[in-house]
Every structure is written in C-alpha cells, then in structure tokens.
Amino acid sequence: MDFPYIMPNKFHFIVIMKIRLIYSKTTLEFNNETSLLDHLEKNNIHHEYQCRSGYCGSCRVKIKKGKVSYKDTPLAFIQPDEILLCCCHVESDIEIDL
C-alpha cells in the first residue's frame, strides 16, 4: 500500500502516513489524531519530553525526510532539520532520527 493513503471514517477522511524511525529500524502508521509523541509512546517507543506544548524543546529530534507543520509557532528554538514530537503535525511520510 502506498503512503500516505486515505481511509474513510464515518465523519471525515483519515489520512494515514508512514513514520520511519531510523535508529530503531521501525516503521509505524500514523494518522495525526494524537501528537506524534503520544503515538510513539503508545507503541512503546519512549523519548525525552517535559512540557508537551512546544515550550521546552526536550522532545526535539532530527527529521531526515518529509514535512511537518505546527498549529502555533513553538517557543522552543529548533533548527530547520529538527521537529518537536509533542506538537508537530505530520503532513507527509517522514523519517526521523529515533
């Protein structure tokens, strides 16, 4: 199956994307209904965090491929090749250093 793909839901369409974790050699499906950090935790993949709102930067990781956005600009300073797992919105299949 090609990613991202669209899955019909009763009320709307859910877009499913592929999250590739480079270091752990794991690939997950993700639908943006929770934060990326929450989704990783539900899959027993744990990463450092503190605020869960983009303030502290503890959850920052490098993104190697793909695109994310933020509803509100995070206050934590991040480089162009970094994302905050707690508050980013995944817009395409991504690869991250995790």
pLDDT at 8: 55
Angle in degrees, CA 92, 34, 15, rounded to 5: 40
Which strand (E) or helix (H) includes residue 8? strand 5-8
pLDDT at 1: 56
Domains and CATH numbers, the chain: 5-96 (3.10.20.30)
pTM: 0.84
What is the DSSP code string of 57-83? -TTEEEEEES-EEESS--SS---TTEE
Beta bridge partners of 68: 90
pLDDT (tens digit per residue) in 17-63: 999 999 999 999 998 888 999 999 999 999 999 999 999 999 999 99
Nearest to 19 by CA among 31, 11, 7, 27: 27
pLDDT (tens digit per residue) in 62-94: 999 999 999 999 999 999 999 999 999 999 999
Check: CB of residue 71 under 8 Å from CB of residue 50. Answer: no
pLDDT at 7: 53
